[in-house]
Amino acid sequence: MERGFYVLAYDIGNDKRRTKIARLMESLGERVQGSVFEAYLNAEELQKIVKKSKKVMKDKEDSLRIYFLCQPCRVKIGIYGNGRVTLPPGVVVV
């Protein structure tokens, strides 16, 4: 299955729910900011994150935003200061 590059950002109002969502995101992506993750996901993995997140979140209090970035968009990502764009799985930088 082909993987796409996603940016996932959440705003969760409760510590317990926030911790659960953070652990879920950490299982499939790389944290790049406090509540922002980058991940290469296939359709099944993306559905898994959405389904599990919805079970934890409160619709009227929390939010999860998922942005798909195509290859031409990824090369335009600007990072200023410390950090780097998450590399695709299996890529090794020496």
Three-state SS string over 33-85 comes to ECCEEEEEECHHHHHHHHHHHHHHCCCCCCEEEEEEECHHHHCCCCCCCCCCC
Note the pLDDT tens digit of each residue in 22-55: 999 999 999 999 999 999 999 999 999 999 999 9
- What kind and span of H or E run contains 8? strand 4-11
CB–CB of 8/39 below 8 Å?
yes
CATH entry, 4-65, from 3.40.630.30, 3.40.718.10, 3.30.70.240, 3.40.50.1100:
3.30.70.240
Supply the pTM of this predicted model: 0.86
Confidence of residue 75 (pLDDT cuts 50, 70, 90): confident
